[in-house]
Amino acid sequence: MSERIYVGADHAGFQLKQKLVGELKRLGYEPVDAGPQTMDPADDYPDYGRPVAQAVSKGTVKRGVLTCGTGLGMAFVANRFPRVRAAVAWTPEIAELARKHNDANVLVLPSRFVSEEEGMDILHKWLDTAFEGGRHERRVAKIDA
């Protein structure tokens, strides 16, 4: 069975979110689009970040992807939920380290600071990199302790 991955955005990330959903499908994942379904310049990132973070927090899915203009608002929202480790990544290297060292289970893309092509490269790196464990296991465990 293919892995379900929740995806959400606000108006600033809407266009990139559409690409992310398409790319996840192309790669054989099952994206769950938490919205928005249409472009609304007045929408608010917490309304779309929350359902994605909730799904990861509850264990409904293992991973989620969020995007807004800077990535910051979405990360603030997502990281309020227990067991969620949302990482803003603007290069593939940051995405890689966020997986290896922090076991980031939510990827947050700053749509106004990455091109669509860069966004896809960051997504690929985050999807394909495993948590290193070892000394990082103890540190990650302390986040929710």
Bridge partners, 66 (sequence order): 8, 108
**How many helices (H) and strands (E) would you count in the chain?**
6, 5
For residues 27 to 56, the per-residue mask of contacts with ligand RB5, x marking binding by CB under 6 A and - elsewhere, is: ------------------x-----------
In the complex, what is the shortest distance from the CB of residue 56 to ligand RB5, in angstroms, rounded to a whole number?
Answer: 19
Nearest to 62 by CA among 21, 3, 8, 108: 3
In the complex, what is the shortest distance from the CB of residue 112 to ligand RB5, in angstroms, rounded to a whole number?
Answer: 7
Q: Cβ neighbours of residue 93 under 8 Å, at least 6 residues apart?
A: 125
- 72 near ligand RB5, judged by CB under 6 A: yes
* Contacting residue, 73, 78, 87, 123, with ligand RB5 by CB under 6 A: 73
Indicate which residues carry an active-site annotation: 68, 101
